[in-house]
């Protein structure tokens, strides 16, 4: 018992040191680590600044930026001008808007049925026979029917997507009828694709078509597509003349792949990106939180003014 006071004092001392260690480990250590990261970032920015001053000594930044813009801007202007050629026209446009009091499902059913009935009216007016166009036109165009949405609620995005697809099919069939096709046997809509070789700026929509029409009308149709003020491309063409032995004008069985393209303007950089630093080049050294906190901590004075100008004019120039 004579050592009881010493033991109690030792335990109290251990508790005090444990509390101090816990404060250091879970509170102060993170703060000091952040200071170290900011110090490394400051040293990296200062080194970058010295390199820039050494590399561009004797040159005016404004003249360099103007020369660079004179090289880049004409290319961007040309890209935007040529991009106008790649569009879907009004093939995917819809003008119908559902009344607020109507349920989307019922309104969509009535609107899609109306468009399909109008389409078949054009078919009968041109061909005098409904059966010369696929009767399952919804299925061939990947357009939902009322049965597909039975027992579930639908959103406006679903309705809009299907109406645009239906309008695309209506415009396609109307174009073929105006080209004097004698029948449309099959329509296959390929998924939209964005080839990497175009930088994702062109969305390509390809259709597989199986049609019949007179030879002279086929030539006129291909010439018309070639002279359109927007992009049409016949990627593949297979022609068969089943009546070659007949002494009459050739009536051809045609299978083709037709592609249209739509230009998508590249998105501008929304969020500023911090410049690479020596610390950030080493994985594991800089946490995301510390890097984002340190990126805002630019040096003060003349160095800070130059850094703000460099970020605004050089790094983030579109």
Q: What is the DSSP string of 119-155?
A: HHHHHHHHHS-GGGS-S-HHHHTT---TGGGTTS---
Supply the Cα-derived Rg of the chain in whole angstroms.
34
pLDDT at 111: 93
Question: The tokens of 68 are what?
Answer: 């660079």
Judge whether 290 lies within some domain: yes
In a domain, 292, yes or no: yes
- Closest among 213, 226, 113 to 163, alpha carbons compared: 113
H/E stretch holding 165 reads helix 156-178
Does 301 fall in a domain? yes
Nearest 5°: CA angle at 182, between 180 and 183? 120
Question: Which pLDDT band holds residue 285 (cuts at 50, 70, 90)?
Answer: very low
pTM (2 d.p.)? 0.61
Q: How many CA atoms lie within 13 A of 12 on its CB side?
A: 6
Separation CA 207–CA 234 (nearest Å): 10
> In this structure, is residue 310 part of a structural domain?
yes
Q: What is the pLDDT of residue 208?
A: 96
**pLDDT band for position 152 (cuts 50, 70, 90):** confident
Q: Is residue 275 part of a domain?
A: yes
Query: Is residue 295 included in any domain, yes or no?
Result: yes
Q: How many domains does the chain have?
A: 1
Residue 249 in domain = no
For residue 284, pLDDT over 50 is answered with no
For residue 12, name the pLDDT band (cuts at 50, 70, 90). confident
Per-residue buried b or exposed e for 103-114, using 16+ beta carbons within 10 Å of the residue's own CB: ebeebbbebbee
Q: Is residue 82 part of a domain?
A: no
Dump pLDDT digits (tens) for 176-229: 999 999 999 999 999 999 998 888 889 999 999 999 999 999 999 999 999 999
The domain in which residue 294 lies consists of 271-318
- Return all residues near 160 (Cβ < 8 A) that are at least 6 apart: 94
């Amino acid at each position: 018992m004579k050592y009881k006071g010493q033991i109690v004092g030792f335990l109290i001392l251990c508790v005090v040191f444990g509390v101090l260690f816990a404060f250091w480990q879970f509170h102060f250590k993170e703060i000091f680590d952040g200071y170290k990261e900011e110090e490394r970032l400051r040293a990296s920015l200062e080194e970058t600044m010295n390199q820039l001053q050494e590399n561009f000594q004797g040159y005016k930044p404004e003249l360099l930026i103007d020369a660079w813009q004179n090289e880049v801007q004409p290319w961007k202007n040309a890209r935007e001008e040529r991009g106008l050629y790649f569009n879907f026209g009004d093939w995917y446009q819809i003008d119908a808007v559902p009344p607020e009091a109507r349920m989307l499902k019922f309104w969509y059913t009535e609107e899609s049925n109306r468009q399909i009935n109008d389409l078949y009216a054009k078919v009968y007016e041109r061909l005098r026979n409904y059966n010369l166009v696929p009767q399952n036109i919804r299925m061939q165009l990947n357009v939902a029917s009322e049965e597909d949405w039975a027992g579930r609620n639908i959103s406006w995005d679903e309705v809009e997507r299907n109406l645009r697809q239906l309008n695309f099919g209506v415009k396609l069939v109307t174009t073929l009828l105006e080209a004097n096709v004698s029948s449309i046997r099959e329509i296959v809509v390929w998924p939209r694709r964005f080839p990497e070789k175009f930088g994702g700026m062109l969305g390509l929509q390809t259709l597989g078509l199986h049609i019949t029409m007179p030879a002279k009308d086929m030539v006129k149709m291909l010439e018309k597509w070639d002279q359109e003020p927007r992009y049409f491309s016949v990627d593949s063409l297979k022609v068969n003349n089943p009546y070659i032995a007949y002494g009459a004008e050739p009536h051809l069985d045609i299978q083709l792949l037709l592609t249209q393209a739509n230009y998508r303007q590249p998105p501008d950089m929304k969020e500023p990106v911090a410049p690479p630093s020596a610390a950030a080049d080493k994985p594991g050294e800089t946490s995301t939180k510390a890097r984002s906190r340190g990126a805002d901590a630019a040096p003060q004075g003349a160095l800070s003014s130059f850094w703000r100008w460099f970020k605004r004019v050089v790094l983030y120039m579109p």
